[in-house]
Amino acid sequence: MHEQALLTEDHPSLGNAGALVGIDQIEELYKTSVSANNAVKVKCANSSCGVKVSIVIPDKEKAGRKTSPSAHFRGHHPEGCDRKPQTSSTTTTSASSQLKANPVKKEFPQVWIDPLTAAVNSSGRLLEPANNGELRSGSGVGGRSREGLGTSEGHSGVVGKFARAWLKMTVQSRKRNPLKAPWNPEGTYDSAFYSFELNSTKFLGKVGTKIFTAPVISVDKVGGDFYLGLQEKALGQAPKVVVLKSEVFEVGAAGRALLNQLNTFDLAQKVYLFCYGSFKYNAGASQSELVVKHPHFIYIDLPAL
Ligand SMILES: [Zn+2]
């Protein structure tokens, strides 16, 4: 089986952007890595990964070389990426046309849209497959601040959308349902979420980027910043703290709504937090911290009233 990759730009004979190409097809057309890379732009075949890859075509004429290595794609894939097209993504449909024509039920959102890159990337490629309103309702989380100037959805944003879906799922269904994101190479809800109640929190630094979820046990306000302590199954050496710098609250209506939630936080109730990012040890504070970079990267699941 030849290695495959996805075209990111149209090519006159290989196909349009989004089409899957084999390294053998490229090798037939181009004799050197340079000519191939000039003409063909590709990314990882696993659409959940999608890192840019380059084409390596070994020089066959190189003197003295008995067996030349075979042509291949080279890229920096996240851990766990299989570099293979997903079984459901057949042949040459682009990711976007698949979404539009997706025949399977869209009960749960499937594609992660990063609010940080979405704001920058105005190529019009922004798709909101789960924008059917269904998942926005019924959460009871502050319908007050839905008007969001500058934000196109409810203030809980991307993490809230996936968190509410995750909460509705069984363990089996988390393993079955796709969640496509560059940081989630395994591509399921199960692989995207990391629950403090279900998992060890001993080596969080190695867990990498996830949507972490845990009950909140402390709320500290220092200046305009908030530090939320998380409950662990077994206490580790370092407390696990979610950090919200004051600038996060300045991001539109979503930021203001988040600040409002935090100011009225009631620890007498068990409140679950969902936050996207990765934990890093802060030696100065002797704690492991996840710094939230955007109000849409955190979701506070308030108990039903
Ligand atoms: Zn990859």
Ligand 1 center to residue 284 CA distance, Å?
35
Same domain, 115 and 231: yes
Domain extent, residue 237, equals 104-301
| Cβ atoms of 77 and 185 closer than 8 Å | yes
Same domain, 186 and 97: no
Separation of 66 CA from ligand 1 center, angstroms?
31
- Going from the Cα of 7 to the center of ligand 1, the distance in angstroms, rounded, reads 14
At 43, the amino acid letter reads: K
Q: What residues form DSSP beta bridges with 178?
A: 188
Given 102, 133, 155, the domain boundary residue is 102
pLDDT digits (tens, 9 = 90+) for 163-216: 999 998 988 999 999 999 999 999 999 999 999 998 999 888 889 999 999 999
164 shares its domain with 26: no
Please name the helix (run of DSSP H) or strand (run of DSSP E) that holds residue 100, with its range, or none: helix 95-100
End-to-end CA distance of the chain: give it in Å, rounded. Answer: 56
In the chain, the number of structural domains is 2
Q: Ligand 1 centroid vs 81 CA: distance in angstroms?
A: 5
What's the CA angle centered on 270, arms 210 and 242, to 5 degrees? 35
On whether the CB atoms of residues 248 and 255 are closer than 8 A, the answer is yes
Considering 57, 81, 102, which residue would you say is the last residue of a domain?
102
Q: Same structural domain for residues 129 and 97?
A: no
Q: Are residues 173 and 148 in the same domain?
A: yes
Cα of 86 from ligand 1 centre, angstroms: 11
Per-residue pLDDT of the chain (305 residues; tens, 9 = 90+): 689 999 999 999 999 999 999 999 999 999 999 999 999 999 999 877 888 999 999 987 665 666 777 899 999 887 778 888 876 434 444 444 444 444 445 678 898 988 877 654 434 333 333 333 333 333 333 333 333 333 333 445 899 999 999 998 988 999 999 999 999 999 999 999 999 998 999 888 889 999 999 999 999 999 999 999 999 988 777 999 999 999 999 998 899 999 998 988 888 888 899 999 999 999 999 999 999 999 999 999 876 65
Which ranges in 149-291 belong to alpha helices (H)? 157-168, 171-176, 189-192, 204-207, 252-263
Q: Is the domain of 110 the same as that of 19?
A: no
Residue 134 Cα to ligand 1 midpoint, Å, equals 32
Encoded tokens for 275: 């936050």
Both tokens assigned to 142: 């502050």
Distance, CA 22 to ligand 1 centroid (Å)? Answer: 15
β-sheet bridge partners, residue 43: 6, 52
Say yes or no: 93 and 169 in one domain. no
Residue type, 215: P
Which residue, 297, 268, 12, is CA-closest to 159?
297
Residue 183 Cα to ligand 1 middle (Å): 10
